[in-house]
Amino acid sequence: MSDTSQITILQAINKALTDAMAEDDSVLVLGEEVADPEEGGIVGVTKGLSTRFGPHRVRSTPISEQAIIGAAIGASLAGFKPVAEIMLMNFTTVAMDMIVNHAAKLRFMSGGQTHVPIVIRTMTGAGFGTGGQHCDYLEAWFAHTAGIKVVAPSNAADAYGLMRSAIEDPDPVLFIENLPTYWTPSAAPQPGARVPLGKASVLSPGQDVTVIAYARMVQEAQAAVAVLKAGGISAELIDLRSVAPWDRRTVLESVARTGRALVVHEAVTPFGVGAEISAVIHEELFSRLKAPVKRLGGAFCPVPFSKPLETAFAPRATDIEAAVRSLLATA
Amino acid sequence: MSDTSQITILQAINKALTDAMAEDDSVLVLGEEVADPEEGGIVGVTKGLSTRFGPHRVRSTPISEQAIIGAAIGASLAGFKPVAEIMLMNFTTVAMDMIVNHAAKLRFMSGGQTHVPIVIRTMTGAGFGTGGQHCDYLEAWFAHTAGIKVVAPSNAADAYGLMRSAIEDPDPVLFIENLPTYWTPSAAPQPGARVPLGKASVLSPGQDVTVIAYARMVQEAQAAVAVLKAGGISAELIDLRSVAPWDRRTVLESVARTGRALVVHEAVTPFGVGAEISAVIHEELFSRLKAPVKRLGGAFCPVPFSKPLETAFAPRATDIEAAVRSLLATA
Amino acid sequence: MTAPTITGVTPDAATQRDIYRRMALIKANDERARKVIRAGKLVLPYYSPRGQEVIPSALSVLLTNDDYICTIYRGIHDMLAKGVPLKDLWAELAGRVTGTCKGKGGPMHITHPKSGVMVTTGIVGSSMPIANGLAWASQIKGDGRVTVAYFGDGASNIGAFHESLNLAAVWKLPVVFVCQNNEWGEHTAYEKATSARQIADRAVGYAMPGARVDGNDPFAMYAAAKDAVDRARAGGGPTLIEAMTYRFHGHVLGDADAYMDKARKEAAVAADPVPRFRAHLIAEGIATEAELAEVEAAIEAELDEAVAHALASDYPTVEELARDVFAPEAVVGEAA
Amino acid sequence: MTAPTITGVTPDAATQRDIYRRMALIKANDERARKVIRAGKLVLPYYSPRGQEVIPSALSVLLTNDDYICTIYRGIHDMLAKGVPLKDLWAELAGRVTGTCKGKGGPMHITHPKSGVMVTTGIVGSSMPIANGLAWASQIKGDGRVTVAYFGDGASNIGAFHESLNLAAVWKLPVVFVCQNNEWGEHTAYEKATSARQIADRAVGYAMPGARVDGNDPFAMYAAAKDAVDRARAGGGPTLIEAMTYRFHGHVLGDADAYMDKARKEAAVAADPVPRFRAHLIAEGIATEAELAEVEAAIEAELDEAVAHALASDYPTVEELARDVFAPEAVVGEAA
Ligand SMILES: Cc1ncc(C[n+]2csc(CCOP(=O)(O)OP(=O)(O)O)c2C)c(N)n1
Ligand SMILES: Cc1ncc(C[n+]2csc(CCOP(=O)(O)OP(=O)(O)O)c2C)c(N)n1
Ligand SMILES: [Mg+2]
Ligand SMILES: [Mg+2]
């Protein structure tokens, strides 16, 4: 990486954590392997933090996800802003009580007396042959839960800016990191720059169709949009960045113009994030739509191990391209 | 209840379990308090089973939801058909790993060598002042999970028939029981009658609009439909019964005729079951729709304790009526 | 019940009276609550703490408002002993806007940070993981606070118990885990659910001090609590206390409790710790009958006032459904 | 390593040779796997069991194909010791349709009911709750089968461990919990994560027999396993065995293991249990050098064949994505 104006998502998150901890003593980090004696995280996202900020503020934990989120919640009730890592998204399944029944609800149930300003970092992403229990895409569960926000950046600047905002946000935020894109370089963030929660970004403007994606699917969509452009089709690409709350205004404004929309995610299609976005677009823009909103998601099965199946599991650029073409063929 | 042709949902489920256990030695029941020394369940759904079928087949458990589902999975791998109770749906949050990473995936991950024919019974429902951690409606989470089916009956006959089918089904089924409707009498099932999984039932035919509901919302919808009928509006009411897989054919056939649809559930609207149904209806019937599909769900917050708030949380008959009228006013 | 003589471990006379006042408050509050609910004036799921008065009373005299507790649905005794004001508490039980939580939390989710009640939970076992976090905060700040996590015997069988005790031990957190072993978890007897001969045995697996004590004996309970609280404050790490007690009523008000052994229950009720301690105080000359009667009368008067306040208060308006889901000031895109 | 003399607890000569054959198979398989992966012929996450050969080898000689095991991502030694055929196993590692799971499960999810391998899990702690269910089935049927749940030291800190051991004890299930304490959980050292002086101590909290044994000593391991398996078969309930061992490599192939103490690791590797047991067998006249060399050669030949078979097999077709999600025969409405 010779271009110093480019960094990876992994570096961006490390930098965001470092900057936040340096600026604010109340920011803590905990999770399995996060401290430096344990190598600063399984792929090094939290490297250097414990050395710089000490073992009180940065703690490796036992393999005890309920205890991890519980400790984060409790510390947040006492004024801290903990960033808790649940190594992989599938492991949130053992901590759902803490996340959903407590972190997301304490503000409401206490009538606003307490609140839970925690960030839950978690990684996921198929592509490494880890199979059915290591790369689920569960964002829809949390989006369906009142009281917690969900973000899923696709590039370094957004990762940095969303992490800074997530840490400062007074409520719990699930911060989803996509493993296969960790090492992809992109434009470095301005130091300290925040990306607001709940704001999408329009990556490329277009007139014919709106493509809505987040996390790794943005890269696939970008490739598809480039091919489509070469073929004379002008697709507007929206990177959702925040899944909940999502940026209705930006999405609706775009689809109102294009009249056509495609939502893409890696999670399985049924009852996924795409369903909500599709439903809202239809509700709000019924008479302006030229074709029904299309959804592309992962195959309706656990993530398979075998390489050809794993590759076929999630939508690819060619699938996105084909879906856009079929959208344009309608009506 | 003088009418002997009527029984309650609670009685119907008890009868389904009794009949299934009597017919098939491989059916087991486990969960907190399910055996008779512990009063056959917190409201008596499993009463009499342990006395009749013995402590090997009907077992009260410690408060250990992971162990409960794990035991059910393991026994199913060895040829049994366990019916496991997770007392309240909120407590599934401590057993999500067992349900989602194991029960739902073992058939796929084993390449079809093993499968997990378990039923997970769970109760939920606001109305008793139990507040934020005792009456969540989490069906969308499971519907979004490949490998597990989800049913939610609204009357005694369906409860009986779906339970019989769920027990016989070779894959895991989440069986959602609505607490506030447990004691409502309705037509008794024919002994042994199965209700197929994945089949909706049309409760009242209509021409102007299709109302799609399940569980307790069916009762509210029935009341609304009656009022609408008196006012000259003919609403077709579909009781979904199975949430996943849901009966696309019946729903689409109906909406193709009426051109208008309303989906009602108690779960919060965003990213809920209604989103999927709305998205599919739009995808399939885009040009036949006279108005965009409408969704009614619970308020976007945890279930509140205070009575007026608790009452206002979920859609009521009057809300359904108003939503139908506004649907008819469109276009 | 005889006062132990180890210096510094026996509560002094004022402290004994203080413990009794808290116990009497819990008992009177419970009787009032059952009366008011049975009369149909309030509708709520009510988990009686009758029989368990000693545990939080003997412990809370060792705590200040700055110390934290996390408790459970059956935790009204813990809250009262910790000092949650009666009016706010009752207004919450009544679901009124004047309640601790504006009526939104209800009996299973009382929060009152001013008296250190940080979490009340309805999910078995979940008081413990959160207590660790509060204790971690104190450890970082060095503020000397102690966090108490209350839970039941049934809760000692759920995963969160294990993860929490292990983490607290590894991190040497200033937390006291207090298991109120009332012999029942809903309708399930201790031995049907719990393999340990005694729950205190489980402390061994965390290399943590653990003790089973008579939780109905204020002296035994005070001594065990003092040992644990002192250790926590001094940076010595967590303790597991298994406080033996008995649940006088069914699991929840309305539960006919037919599954409970009658003789065992009658014996427990006959040994009611509240009148027992009262008699002790008088017999030992620590308080006079008149003094205690005055304390009790004051409690009744306070209860009259609290109930009246609660019933006279307004309900929250439905706008509250949309409030406190997220911070009002949070800068986000349009809400989902 | 000296053979204990208690009658019935020392494996006889044939059993010792059998244990060695399994150990040699695990070691050779591991070396082959690392070679094949390093050569780029296969791509998979690989969790080496090197150093832990004794545990499942000494245990599995006490089991039949009818007995069940539930194991974990680092469980290829458990599978091999239990008898999963090499060809099927390698084809699964290669993601081929000829694999145990048609390539759909992969290394972390090997299932092979014919040899009793019922579950392999990637979620820490989750082998135990499912093992209980298999054991419950045996208890109901009275089929005398034993279920073994393998897991790591790190897994002893997760909630599922606790719930499982408690349930097994209360229900007296025929299950053996085998903790392979290799001193590491990923990059985390035992004492950073685990409060117990020894994991075996945790058995006390379940009133369950528990023992720490030298898991690298085939005699000690066999004796402990026999005690536990016999107890389970006889209806005497569960046992917790903490088998001490050491992970020779990093957590996953590719992990540079810089966090591991070099001297400790070198000492462990120097005490490699496989050549040690080999030397013992020869020294004691239980097997000759030639006999063992023949066993090892046969293993290498079998490995050659298995790898070739795997690499020559077809991948599953993408239609497999839609298969095995639900039973094909399930009568349901239209799929969602
Ligand atoms: C995770 C979970 N499972 C089940 C329940 C239902 N439940 C509520 S109280 C209770 C019994 C708890 O017993 P114990 O811990 O001894 O506390 P006690 O009620 O005796 O004070 C159960 C099973 C729950 N609230 N949470
Ligand atoms: C619930 C859960 N949390 C975290 C992980 C990530 N993880 C995989 S292996 C591992 C270490 C397990 O250590 P141990 O139990 O000692 O087994 P070993 O790998 O040493 O055999 C961790 C933390 C996981 N797989 N599941
Ligand atoms: Mg109890
Ligand atoms: Mg280990």
User: Of A276, A310, A330, which to mutate for an interface test with B (greatest number of B Cβ within 10 Å)?
Assistant: A276
Q: How confident is the model at residue D330 (pLDDT cuts 50, 70, 90)?
A: low
Query: Residue A175 has which token pair?
Result: 């911060």
Chains contacting C with at least 3 CB pairs below 8 Å? A, B, D
Question: For ligand 2, what atom is nearest to the CA of residue A94?
Answer: 1
pLDDT in tens, A253-265: 999 999 999 999 9
Pick from C158, C259, C316: which is nearest to B37 by CB?
A: C259
Fold type of domain C13-335: Rossmann fold (3.40.50)
Whether residue B331 has pLDDT greater than 60: no
Name the closest ligand to CA D185: 2
Alpha helices (runs of H) in chain C, residue ranges in sequence order: 13-38, 54-60, 76-82, 86-93, 127-141, 159-171, 190-193, 218-233, 262-270, 273-283, 289-312
> CB-based burial of residue B191 (10 Å sphere; 0-12 exposed, 13-18 middle, 19+ buried)?
exposed
pLDDT at C277: 98
User: Of C101, C195, C318, which to mutate for an interface test with B (greatest number of B Cβ within 10 Å)?
Assistant: C318
CA–CA gap between residue A279 and residue A293 (Å, rounded): 9
Query: Residue B33 has which token pair?
Result: 């308090």
Are residues B16 and B160 in contact, defined by beta-carbon separation less than 8 angstroms?
Answer: yes
Closest residue CA from atom 20 of ligand 1:
C185
Whether residue D333 has pLDDT greater than 80: no
Mean pLDDT in residue range C40-63: 98
* B65 flagged as catalytic: yes
Domain A6-187 is found in CATH 3.40.50.970: yes
For C46, the closest chain B residue by CA position comes to B130
List strands edge to edge, sheet with D239-244. Answer: D117-121, D68-72, D147-152, D175-181, D239-244, D210-214
Distance A178 CA to ligand 4 centre (A): 27
Query: Residue C63 has which token pair?
Result: 């705590």
Q: Is D49 in the pocket of ligand 2 (CB under 6 A)?
A: no
Are residues A181 and A11 in contact, defined by beta-carbon separation less than 8 angstroms?
Answer: no
Q: What is the 3-state secondary structure (H, E, C) of chain A?
A: CCCCCEEEHHHHHHHHHHHHHHHCCCEEEEECCCCHHHCCCCCCCCCCHHHHHHHHHEEECCCCHHHHHHHHHHHHHCCCEEEEEEEEHHHHHHCHHHHHHHHCCHHHHCCCCCCCCCEEEEEECCCCCCHHHCCCCCHHHHHCCCCCEEECCCCHHHHHHHHHHHHHCCCCEEEEEEHHHCCCEEECCCCCCCCCECCCEEEECCCCEEEEECCHHHHHHHHHHHHHHHCCCCEEEEECCEEECCCHHHHHHHHHHHCCEEEEEEEECCCCHHHHHHHHHHHHHCCCCCCCCEEEEECCCCCCCCHHHHHHHCCCHHHHHHHHHHHHHCC
pLDDT at D3: 55
What lies within 8 Å, CB to CB, of B54 at 6+ separation is: none
> CB-based burial of residue C88 (10 Å sphere; 0-12 exposed, 13-18 middle, 19+ buried)?
buried
For chain A, residues classed under CATH 3.40.50.920 are: 201-329
Q: How confident is the model at residue D335 (pLDDT cuts 50, 70, 90)?
A: very low
Pick from B132, B271, B309: which is nearest to C318 by CB?
A: B309
Whether residue A162 has pLDDT greater than 70: yes
Q: Are B245 and D336 an interchain contact pair (Cβ–Cβ within 8 Å)?
A: yes
Fold type of domain A201-329: Rossmann fold (3.40.50)
pLDDT in tens, A194-240: 999 999 999 999 999 999 999 999 999 999 999 999 999 999 999 99
Ion ligand 3: residues, CB within 5 A, are C 152-154, 182, 184-185
Whether residue C335 has pLDDT greater than 50: no
Using only the alpha carbons of chain D, give its radius of gyration.
Answer: 20
Name the closest ligand to CA B63: 1
For B106, the closest chain D residue by CA position comes to D119
CA–CA gap between residue A261 and residue A210 (Å, rounded): 5
Handedness of CA C280, C286, C291, C295 (dihedral sign): negative
CA–CA gap between residue C274 and residue A128 (Å, rounded): 63
pLDDT in tens, B112-123: 999 999 999 999
Smallest CA–CA separation between C116 and chain B, in Å? 21
Q: Does D62 reach chain A within 8 Å, measured CB to CB?
A: no
Q: Does D85 reach chain B within 8 Å, measured CB to CB?
A: no
Pick from D118, D130, D333: which is nearest to B199 by CB?
A: D333
Single out the residue of D86, D95, D100, D74 nearest to residue D32, CA to CA.
D86
List b or e across C65-79, with b for residues whose CB sees 16 or more CB atoms inside 10 angstroms.
eebbbbbbbbbbbbb
Using only the alpha carbons of chain A, give its radius of gyration.
Answer: 20
Tell me the three state secondary structure of residue D119.
strand
Mutate to test the pocket of ligand 2, among D109, D124, D249 (most ligand atoms within 8 A of CB): D124
Q: Does C126 reach chain D within 8 Å, measured CB to CB?
A: no
pLDDT at C333: 39
Q: How confident is the model at residue C3 (pLDDT cuts 50, 70, 90)?
A: low
Whether residue C332 has pLDDT greater than 60: no
Q: Which chain D residues are closer than 8 Å to A90 by Cβ? A: 122-123
The reported pTM is 0.98
Indicate the residue type of B149: K
Q: Which chain D residues are closer than 8 Å to A306 by Cβ? A: 95-97, 102-104, 106, 315-316, 320
Question: For ligand 1, what atom is nearest to the CA of residue C158?
Answer: 1
Can you say whether residue A222 is alpha, beta or left, with left for phi > 0 and alpha for psi between -120 and 50 degrees?
alpha
Q: Is A91 in the pocket of ligand 2 (CB under 6 A)?
A: yes
Query: ipTM for the complex?
Result: 0.97
Distance C240 CA to ligand 3 centre (A): 16
pLDDT in tens, A270-285: 999 999 999 999 999 9
Q: Which chain D residues are closer than 8 Å to A271 by Cβ? A: 336
For chain B, residues classed under CATH 3.40.50.970 are: 6-187
- Domain locations along chain C: 13-335
Q: Are A197 and C167 an interchain contact pair (Cβ–Cβ within 8 Å)?
A: no
Question: For ligand 2, what atom is nearest to the CA of residue D72?
Answer: 21
Q: Are A109 and B302 an interchain contact pair (Cβ–Cβ within 8 Å)?
A: yes
Whether residue B85 has pLDDT greater than 70: yes
Mean pLDDT in residue range D171-178: 98
CA–CA gap between residue C54 and residue C22 (Å, rounded): 8
pLDDT at C334: 39
pLDDT in tens, C274-290: 999 999 999 999 999 99
Query: Residue A140 has which token pair?
Result: 């829809």
Q: How confident is the model at residue B34 (pLDDT cuts 50, 70, 90)?
A: very high
Tell me the three state secondary structure of residue B213.
strand
Q: Which residues of A are catalytic?
A: 65, 134
Q: How confident is the model at residue A115 (pLDDT cuts 50, 70, 90)?
A: very high
Distance B84 CA to ligand 3 centre (A): 22
Q: Which chain D residues are closer than 8 Å to A140 by Cβ? A: none
Query: Residue A126 has which token pair?
Result: 């198929």
Question: For ligand 2, what atom is nearest to the CA of residue D152?
Answer: 15
The residues in C 116-135 lying below 8 A from B, measured between CB atoms, are: 121-125
Q: Which chain A residues are closer than 8 Å to B279 by Cβ? A: 274-275, 278-279, 282, 293, 295
Are residues B42 and D100 in contact, defined by beta-carbon separation less than 8 angstroms?
Answer: no
Indicate the residue type of D173: L
pLDDT in tens, D95-137: 999 999 999 999 999 999 999 999 999 999 999 999 999 999 9
Whether residue B1 has pLDDT greater than 60: no
pLDDT at A331: 57
Pick from B108, B132, B278: which is nearest to A301 by CB?
A: B108
Q: Distance from CA of residue C227 to its chain's centroid?
A: 19
Are residues C12 and C5 in contact, defined by beta-carbon separation less than 8 angstroms?
Answer: no
Q: Are C192 and B301 an interchain contact pair (Cβ–Cβ within 8 Å)?
A: no
CA–CA gap between residue B123 and residue B89 (Å, rounded): 6
pLDDT in tens, B247-270: 999 999 999 999 999 999 999 999
Smallest CA–CA separation between B183 and chain A, in Å? 28
Residues with CB under 6 Å of ligand 1 are: B 32, 63, 65, 87, 91, 94; C 74, 122-124, 151-155, 180, 182, 184-186, 247
What lies within 8 Å, CB to CB, of C19 at 6+ separation is: C11, C54, C57, C58, C61, C218, C222, C277
Q: Are A279 and B279 an interchain contact pair (Cβ–Cβ within 8 Å)?
A: yes
What value, to the nearest 5°, has the Cα angle with vertex B244 and ends D160 and B255? 160
pLDDT in tens, C229-247: 999 999 999 999 999 999 9
Distance C122 CA to ligand 1 centre (A): 8
pLDDT at D7: 52
For B91, the closest chain A residue by CA position comes to A97
In terms of pLDDT, which residue wins out, C1 or D44?
D44
Distance A39 CA to ligand 2 centre (A): 15
Pick from C159, C201, C206: which is nearest to D195 by CB?
A: C206
Q: Are C196 and D207 an interchain contact pair (Cβ–Cβ within 8 Å)?
A: yes
Closest residue CA from atom 21 of ligand 1:
C152
pLDDT in tens, A53-109: 999 999 999 999 999 999 999 999 999 999 999 999 999 999 999 999 999 999 999
Kindly report the average pLDDT of chain D as a whole number.
95
